[in-house]
A and B are shown apart, each in its own frame.
Chain A
Amino acid sequence: MSVSNYKVEFEKMLNRDYFSKSLHPYRKEAFAQLKKIGFPTRKWENWRFTNVSAISDGEFMISEVADAPKNTLNIDSYKMEGVNSIIIYNGHYQKELSSVPDGVTLLSGLEYLERKNGNFDTANNSPFDLLNTAFADSGMCLVEKEIQVETPIRILFISNGDRSIMVNPRVNIDLGESSNLIFIEHHVGDAAAFFQNESVFISLENNAQLNHIRIQSNSEFTQNIANLNVNQQTNSQYDFFQLVDGSKLGRSNICVQLNGENAQCNINSLALSKNNQHIDNNIIVNHNSPQTHSTQFVKSILFDTSSGVFNGRTVVHQNAQKITAHQTNKNLLLSKKAKMNSNPQLEIYADDVKCSHGSTTGQIDEDALFYLQSRGINKQDAMELLVTGFANDVLDKIPHPEIKQFIQADFTNKLGRLMS
């Protein structure tokens, strides 16, 4: 279980001439740091219930040109109406299939670095953020200033093939003052072995508003780590919605900093797991300023021997008076062997705040099931109705009607297959 497994690949990476050499110092430093701290083990507090040995013992290789599509890609099956899409296939940007809406600028990692005067975001020193910095490949930077972007923008990440590929997408989204955007990450594909370690850096200036929708529907044989780092200034609003039904191991590390007064974030997540999938949501929201507001609303539906983790932490710092923070975690176990670990935590250092947290884990309500049956609805349809009902209040958080319809249909379809 060591980082040195990845040394050969790292050297290979540095020799790629299509990656800028000016990023090398950052990569090297990150890799050295990662070597020092190592991959997380079950002894780490935030990783107690999640085993990443498939990654740390793994022999994932960086994506080669041969892993890019040979012919023009057909993406009809991933079609989403009314959005502009950027396509990334096994880590390779598909320029001819991609487009961005007016008001959005797409920069390469290097161009972004130059614009930021060499200030490279390194977020925290978490192992997977460091790994991402070391290996950052399909970097996409969206810079966007004081504009209301009407058309949602989607990055479609496709992972396919049999090779054990590792990709490290790095996405920066900077929303300038009073601008707003709907940003969708859509992870799909049927890879037999794949490791995606994605880092997303979001920066919201005053009054900026971002709707971030993440759909993780790639194959159930992939390892997915998502590292989201969000920084919010005064009056900004961040609404996050996530649907996870893909991946063997799906771990989201979400860290939000509410730095300016009246900044608000709403984290919503719905997981649907089957077989031996493991879906882990690790959320930290820092209230660093007064009158900031946060909600965490996380639900899991677990079939078979699948398992899940909710680790939600809300930290209210000393000067952050008059804030509101609410955490809700609800889990539905649809098999005797499914397992959920839930740990909602509040850490409050201010004295004038309004906070709540709660967690419930249970099975289908037998009385509700009987009630529906007694009205003529057969048991299977009644179960499906109840599970859909359980999911509905999270799905209702999706802000955009067409995207909501897309996700709802996708969810209903998948649930139907699982319950039949």
Chain B
Amino acid sequence: MIKIKNLYVNVEDKEILKGINLEVKPGELHVIMGRNGTGKSTLANVLVGKDKYKVTDGTVSFNGENLLDMSPEDRACAGLFLSFQYPVAIPGVNNMYFLKAAVNAVRKSRGEEEIDAVDFLSMIREKLKMVALDESFIHRPVNDGFSGGEKKRNEILQMIALEPKLSILDETDSGLDIDALKIVAQGVNDFRSPDRAFILITHYQRILNYMQPDFVHVLMNGKIVKSGTMELAKEVEKKGYSWIEEEVAEVA
């Protein structure tokens, strides 16, 4: 699905990512954990093509294509999706209108016909149920006046409407109460399939009570310093990150 090789990234001339290597295969769910400021969100943003993130070295191939050469919209059409940590509010733009434009853009790129308003509405009604949102929600402006939990559920709604191959969830669990967390986790679980993959970025092991990751990676100072399974996440939850820091120091 995605192969990240030796990726170096600068933000405003400061090196944030210092040689990331990661491969995610179809059907897998990878978790990336790490303290604040270790480069987790940078990794997410550079993959979807935000322009202030400059790649200085390395390659990323997405289903065989050079991801770094593609525009943000082409990446989305190719099946890449980021659930933003802080979804931006867009006053004046109706959520349904936006969703329909997005779904049709992606369909068009796949050579499929545009979906009409009636079919779209019945499709979106189904998906709204999956994230426990009522219909009034899609008639509001995008993320405008949404609560934190609503914004995150709106991200998941977009994900399941756009049907990406690889979804990156950037701290989708942050700031959610336990009920909202369960809804979000359920939404993702229902969406899992053998041909879809996920990268979940999180601070907490909490959401992993509701999801089954295949791999867990710890990001530190712009590098993946430790990889493992669910056991690693549990250890981090119990002991924090210092012991990994010490391990890394010893090796060096």
Binding site for B on A (CB under 8 A): 365, 367-368, 370-379, 381-382, 385-386, 388-393
Contacts and interface: CB of A to CB of B under 8 A. Distances in A.
Given A370-B72, A385-B93, A390-B92, A376 B87 contact: no
Contacts of B76: 373-376
A367 B88 contact: yes
Contacts of A377: 73, 101-102, 105
B90 A371 contact: yes
Given A371-B87, A379-B73, A392 B92 contact: yes
Contacts of B94: 392
Contacts of A365: 88, 90
Interface in B2-59: 48-51
Interface in B145-174: 158, 162
B88 A371 contact: yes
Contacts of A371: 84, 87-88, 90
Q: Quick one: which of A367, A372, A386 has the most chain B CB within 10 A? A: A372
Contact of A389 (B72, B75, B91): B91
B48 A374 contact: yes
A419 to B, nearest CB: 15
A384 to B, nearest CB: 10
B141 interface: yes
A389 B48 CA distance: 24
Given A370-B72, A373-B49, 18 more contacts: A365-B88, A367-B88, A373-B72, A374-B49, A374-B72, A376-B76, A376-B77, A376-B102, A376-B105, A376-B106, A378-B73, A381-B101, A385-B97, A388-B92, A388-B93, A389-B90, A389-B93, A390-B92
A148 B116 CA distance: 40
Contact of A391 (B92, B98, B101, B141): B92
Contacts of B98: 372, 375, 385
A241 to B, nearest CB: 16
Interface string B85-111: 001101111100110011001100100
B82 interface: yes
Contacts of B87: 371
Interface residues of B, number: 30
B16 to A, nearest CB: 18
B71 interface: yes
A381 B77 CA distance: 14
Nearest to A375: B102
Contact of B162 (A368, A375, A385): A375
A375 B90 contact: no
Contact of B73 (A368, A376, A388): A376
A382 B71 CA distance: 13
Nearest to B91: A389
Contacts of A390: 92
Contacts of B81: 374
A389 B88 CA distance: 14
A385 B101 contact: yes
A391 B92 CA distance: 7
A376 B101 CA distance: 9
Contacts of A385: 93, 97-98, 101
21 contacts: A370-B51, A370-B72, A371-B87, A371-B88, A372-B98, A372-B101, A373-B72, A374-B73, A374-B84, A375-B102, A375-B105, A376-B77, A376-B102, A376-B109, A378-B73, A378-B105, A379-B71, A385-B101, A386-B93, A388-B92, A389-B92
A136 to B, nearest CB: 41
Given A381-B105, A385-B101, A373 B92 contact: no
B121 to A, nearest CB: 18
Nearest to A391: B92
B158 A375 contact: yes
A390 B144 CA distance: 13
Q: Quick one: which of A365, A377, A382 has the most chain B CB within 10 A? A: A377
A105 B224 CA distance: 81
Contacts of B50: 370
A379 B71 CA distance: 9
Nearest to A394: B92
A398 to B, nearest CB: 15
Nearest to A387: B92
Interface string B211-243: 000000000000000000000000000000000
Q: Quick one: which of B84, B92, B141 has the most chain A CB within 10 A? A: B92
Contacts of A391: 92
A377 B100 CA distance: 10
Contact of A368 (B49, B88, B109): B88
Given A370-B50, A381-B105, A385-B98, A376 B91 contact: no
Contacts of A376: 73, 76-77, 102, 105-106, 109, 162
A272 to B, nearest CB: 15
Contacts of B73: 373-374, 376-379, 382
8 nearest CB pairs, A to B: A389-B92, A389-B93, A376-B76, A375-B102, A376-B105, A373-B72, A376-B106, A392-B92
Contacts of B82: 374
Nearest to A367: B88
Contacts of B109: 376
A389 B91 CA distance: 7
Given A375-B158, A376-B162, A393 B72 contact: no
B158 A393 contact: no
A373 B71 contact: yes
Contacts of B97: 385
Contacts of B91: 389, 393
A394 to B, nearest CB: 9
Contacts of B106: 376
A209 B93 CA distance: 31
Contacts of B71: 373, 378-379
B153 to A, nearest CB: 16
A144 B49 CA distance: 61
